[in-house]
Chains A and B, each alone.
Chain A
Amino acid sequence: MERHFDEELKDLNKEILKMGVLAQEAIFKSIEALKNRDKNQAQEVISSDRKIDELELVIDERCIDLIARHQPMAGDLRFITMSMKISTDLERIADLAVDISQRVLELSDKPLLKPLIDIPKLAVLSQEMLNDVITSFLNANADLAKKVILKDSEADSLRNLIQEELLNEYICKDRNCIPRAMPLLLIARHLERICDHATNIAEDVIYMVNAKVVKHHPEKLGNGM
């Protein structure tokens, strides 16, 4: 039987996707701003963040309303409760894009310390993870969500690599480069945190689809999910 409630669930789905797309755009623009040393683009990311913040509030209110009015059960309940959590992670991802943009502004009047090689790699990884996890949410695909979780260690390794290089090859050798090195180090951290949030979303998608809790229990990922 078709339910009017299903329309409301579809609307919630659309709002999450909208937020996902905005978060993806924010990361993309912040990295383009870094590569092109574009202050205007960085500023645009910062000022667009408000829209994403408001969307989180809209989604929260809608989820609470759906729970109060419809007493959802089973899959519907998991979808609604996980949507609330996913919107929080998406909002944090957008905030991290803002943080990257702020680092870009800090770097904009200084010559680039070194060619950017590993940071763009980490940026691509974060964008892939976010894109895949949004797709996994859209298609209720737990297997794709699992792949996202498994990529997180790669993000950690890349961040460590960037950190070590900046610390050992630049900061330790010449303290004068700190104003140019620190923002890059922080950008790597921001990107790695984006990957962490994408991983959180993936864990929520797995619970939403399979009712399986893999959050804080990576050992459960392998078990016939």
Chain B
Amino acid sequence: MDKFIRIKAEKINFYYGKTQALKNVSFDIYANQVTAIIGPSGCGKSTFIRIINRMHELIPNTRCEGKIIFDGEDICCDPAMDVVAVRRRIGMVFQKPNPFPKSIFENIAYGLKVNGIKDKHYIEEKVVDSLKKAALWDEVKERLHESALKLSGGQQQRLCIARALAVEPEVILFDEPCASLDPISTAKIEELILELKKEYTIIIVTHNMQQAARVSDRTAFFLLGEMIEMGDTQQIFTAPNDKRTEAYITGRFG
């Protein structure tokens, strides 16, 4: 099967002030696959994922060099690129669920309205569709106008996923999406990710390497700002090429 490269990172170097957090990171993300990024704390994995949809621009005193090619364009370091357009096409789900202090319905409708959509019927359809895709519809269909803050942690996280899906992204970034969830909610999110990859390209950063093993097709191992190794998840977890990868995944360090 031909694999189509959705995002290409080329020689990414990133600095927080004078500290270099990423060193010459280059790799390909294939379409309709889940790519996991693993590594010990401080390895640069969250920094890297935030560059992909330019969240790093919210942090002062940072500098990024290199390219992130998406649909033939450099979306990372080109100041002329429309950041809002990038973030609509490349959505993000964060570690701590962050629903707006609004109703469940409004949480999802908000992104559509901000993008200029006014058709009520369309908005309603989109809300239902997103909630179904995020496997949350059955649990909330009777209470769409209740506050999103009343939902459980796992439900809030799925709401955040529905919110990201509503604006029809092509790529979804997950930055440790289950770190604050219980095991059952985690399992539900993981099953959801496996379903979502049929339609979307997914990148997940996780400090839980067993999670990476369970959900991803390809895995990249980062250490001290460098990408040490990347390959099919099956190969990385059964026969990694680099000794440092082996040491990390067998729990000998990190």
Contacts and interface: CB of A to CB of B under 8 A. Distances in A.
Interface of A: 1-5, 64-65, 68-71
Nearest to A65: B234
A67 to B, nearest CB: 9
Contact of A65 (B188, B191, B210, B238): B238
Q: Ordered nearest first, which 3 A-B pairs have the shortest CB separation?
A: A68-B237, A69-B213, A4-B194
5 contacts: A1-B188, A5-B214, A65-B238, A68-B237, A70-B213
Contacts of B213: 68-71
Contacts of A71: 210, 213-214
B85 interface: no
A64 B238 contact: yes
B203 to A, nearest CB: 18
Report the contact-size class of chain B (Cβ under 8 Å from the partner).
10 to 19
A1 B191 contact: yes
A65 B191 CA distance: 18
B233 interface: yes
A71 B211 CA distance: 10
A3 B214 CA distance: 11
A39 B187 CA distance: 56
Interface of B: 187-188, 191, 194, 210, 213-214, 233-234, 237-238
Contacts of B188: 1
B187 A68 contact: no
A68 B209 CA distance: 11
A68 B191 contact: no
A60 to B, nearest CB: 11
**Among B188, B194, B233, B234, residue most surrounded by chain A Cβ atoms (within 10 Å):** B234
Nearest to B187: A1
Contacts of A69: 213-214, 233-234, 237
Contacts of A64: 238
Contacts of B194: 4
B32 to A, nearest CB: 15
Contact of A4 (B191, B210, B233, B234): B191
A163 B188 CA distance: 61
Given A3-B191, A69-B214, A71-B210, 15 more contacts: A1-B187, A1-B191, A3-B187, A4-B191, A4-B194, A5-B214, A65-B238, A68-B237, A68-B238, A69-B213, A69-B233, A69-B234, A69-B237, A70-B214, A71-B214
B218 to A, nearest CB: 12
A144 B187 CA distance: 35
Contacts of B210: 71
A73 to B, nearest CB: 12
A62 B102 CA distance: 47
Contacts of B214: 5, 69-71
Nearest to B212: A69
A65 B210 CA distance: 13
Nearest to A64: B238
Nearest to A66: B234
B190 to A, nearest CB: 9
Contacts of B237: 68-69
A3 B237 CA distance: 21
